[in-house]
Amino acid sequence: MSTSSWQLRPTVQATRIDGGLHLRSWDTSLTLDGAPQLWRLWQLLTRRLASGRTTADLRDLSPRPPVALALYRLADLLREHDLLVRVPEHWAGTGHAHAPADACGPAPVPPAAVATWLASVATDPAASWTGIGRESVTVTGTGPAATAAIEALTAAGARVRRAATRIDAPRDAGRVTLAASDGRAVVTGASATVGYVTPVGPGRQLRAQSGLIAERLGLDGAATAPGDPVSVVAGACAAHRLLGALAELTDPTTPTALVVRSDPLRATAHPWPPGVRSPAVDAPDRRDDAVHAGLPTSLTDPELGVLPPVELDDLPQLPVGLARCRVGSVPGPAGGTLVTGHGPDTSTARLHATLAAVELLSVSTGGAAVLACGVDRSHAEGVLLRRLARRSVASAGVTSGEAVPPSAFDAPAARRWWRTLTRRLGVPATVHVRRLAPGAQLAVVGGPDTTDPDGWMELGWAIEATAHDAVAFAALTAVATVRWRAHRPGPPYSHGPCGASPRVSRSASPMPDGSEREAALRRSLRTLVGAPAEPIVVTPPAPLAAALRTVGLVVLRAGDDR
């Protein structure tokens, strides 16, 4: 039975500070102070651990009991902060560069460089090495990227075989697939100036995903010269990603795609929609905060995104969050159509500005019908029905309805946003509530028209299951409208939260949670407007449509031109 010993992780670095020391590794750090002897103890401990020590040996690192106790406590702190690692005996030896071709598992000892790498980052280096050797890797493709990947895999001790290349489309000529025998794979491709590496995932899915990435980057599958630097970096990064997955290492850049550029030569991580998608997106009763908050970053990424950037710039973020996006092909900061998003926080505002941009780009395929974009079908349908209901009662006048009873402001969210509007911003606003259907209330907030001293203008509206919920969302929109118009005249195309919206911020939301009432509200609104049970899914122009499918966003319209 082989023994194991404790060693310092190779990446640990120490700096002497006044009265102590500071230790750091690739993903953790530790500062110890309060005793001038700490640096001397550290030097003594590093010498004791140079050849490895068993758990029992850690208690006997010095013949002097006080020193041995101090060294043990220091070593215990290092273990607690993951600065020590347990490795098998002779781990740092010079293992074979690769396993024999007919081997069924890894070589007993990894190559020295691989041993150092795993001892630096793996929780259990021996188990990680076993994982690398357990699976064989098939490389499909040609060119310098394939060559670099094979060389990197072989040098790491993986069992590698090369497969024939199948070319179904022109861009397939530059695609290289690294597929492990357990089904996990990574795909890379490169030209002389740009390359990419997908996240690790199922091989069948990655084929379509790599095609989307290649299309975004303008790759046409043209051959690159042997030794081309971009191809070499892309192939080596692909090998590293797959090896890390086989070794069960945490990839700090996941879920992303790597983009390799030539001037200067670099590899950068970029949000890739398939990576941020979660099964929670498909579950209408469950919201994944991290997924929703990451959608704007994924869709507007400068390398792989399909939307213009969502900007905050000089927009005020208090008392509401505001974000904007300029949609269109007109160059320059003033080109295109301005859309905005708002919410109780900046993350929510960025998400809704993104949804507004998607809606505007979908108008050409949606015709004259009312459109709604949501993070999933449930969200999109909730927004769509609210807009249809609002339009159906617009002819009755926005001020119709009863004055809001004082009880409507007893709810914390309604009280908060109404006071923000009328006291903090000083707007002499009015609010009217109208019952549209059983369990459906319309709230309309209005105020003085800034262009007509005797006029009145709508500042915000909302349709929710209860009066206080409707007042809360309508007042929030009114606050956003006032803040936006103070910054820039003119009402832009805007998108904001409602009772069907997901939670975006992990902090406590200042908005009411009407999720339990949402299904009943949608049934009432569907009856009110005569909408079909199944709205029509709108397919935006490519490549936006493909991007929306990968992140789960849905654009809906009514079944006819309502």
pLDDT in tens, 123-139: 899 999 999 988 899 99
Least confident of 85-94, 197-206, 363-372, 393-402: 393-402
What's the pLDDT tens digit per position in 412-448? 888 899 989 988 998 888 888 888 888 899 999 988 8
Q: What pLDDT band is residue 330 in, cutting at 50, 70 and 90?
A: very low
Q: What is the pLDDT of residue 406?
A: 53
- Check residues 120 and 209 and name the one with the higher pLDDT: 120
Q: Is 365 left (phi over 0), alpha (psi -120 to 50) or beta?
A: alpha
Query: For residue 375, what pLDDT is reported?
Result: 87
- CA atoms of 535 and 560, how far apart (whole Å): 9
Pick the CATH number of 4-88 from 3.30.830.10, 3.90.930.70, 3.40.225.10, 3.40.50.720: 3.90.930.70
pLDDT at 222: 67
What does the pLDDT look like over 251-299, one tens digit per residue?
Answer: 776 678 999 998 899 999 988 764 344 333 333 333 455 556 677 877 8
Work out the average pLDDT over 340-361.
90
- Is the pLDDT at 450 greater than 90? The verdict is no
Full-model pTM: 0.72
The pLDDT score that the predictor gives to residue 96 is 39
CA distance 422 to 436: 26
Q: What percentage of the chain exceeds 70 in pLDDT?
A: 80
Please write the tens of the pLDDT for every residue from 12-37: 999 998 888 899 988 888 898 888 88
Order of strands across the sheet with 29-33? 13-17, 20-24, 29-33
What pLDDT score does 355 carry? 92
DSSP state of 240: H
What's the pLDDT score for residue 291?
58
Backbone torsion region of residue 250, taken as left when φ is above 0, otherwise alpha when ψ lies between -120 and 50, otherwise beta? beta
Cβ pair 438, 449 in contact under 8 A: no
500-513: average pLDDT: 73
Does 17 or 543 have the greater pLDDT score? 17
pLDDT tens for 147-204 read 999 999 999 989 999 887 665 555 556 789 999 998 899 999 998 899 999 999 888 7
pLDDT classification of 457: cutoffs 50, 70, 90 = confident
The reported pLDDT for the residue numbered 307 is: 84
Q: Who's near 497: CB < 8 A, 6+ residues apart?
A: 342, 343, 344, 348, 352, 473, 476, 511
Residue scoring higher pLDDT (114 or 486): 114
Query: 112-271, what's its fold?
Result: Rossmann fold (3.40.50)
According to the model, what pLDDT value does residue 277 have? 43
Mean pLDDT of 82-86: 89
Mean pLDDT of 95-118: 63
| pLDDT(339) > 50 | yes
Task: Check if the beta carbon of residue 356 is closer than 8 Å to that of residue 310.
Answer: no
| Model pLDDT, residue 136 | 92
Residues 195 and 232: their CA atoms lie apart, in Å, by 10
Spatial distance between the Cα atoms of 257 and 304, rounded to a whole number of angstroms: 9
The pLDDT of residue 285: 38
Q: Which amino acid is at 134?
A: R
How many C-beta atoms surround the C-beta of residue 319 within 10 A? 17
| For range 110-120, the mean pLDDT | 89
The mean pLDDT value of the chain amounts to 80
Residue 341 to residue 363: CA distance in whole angstroms: 18
The answer to whether the CB of 251 falls within 8 A of the CB of 244 is: yes
CB atoms within 10 A of CB 22: 14
Contact 199, 187 (CB under 8 A): no
Q: Is the pLDDT of residue 237 over 90?
A: yes
Question: What distance in Å separates the CA atoms of residue 26 and residue 63, rounded to the nearest whole number?
Answer: 33
Show Cβ contacts of residue 446 under 8 Å, excluding neighbours closer than 6 positions: 398, 399, 429, 430, 431, 432, 456, 457, 458, 459
> Do 244 and 204 meet the contact criterion of CB atoms below 8 Å apart?
no
Instruction: Supply 121's token pair.
Output: 């980052």
> Residue 209: pLDDT band by 50, 70, 90 thresholds?
confident
Q: Is the predicted pLDDT of residue 99 greater than 60, yes or no?
A: no
Residue from 118, 123, 120, 116 nearest 24 by CA? 120
Average pLDDT over residues 477-492: 83
- The residues spanned by each domain of the chain are 4-88, 112-271, 274-562
User: Both tokens of residue 275?
Assistant: 């990576």
The residue count of the chain comes to 562
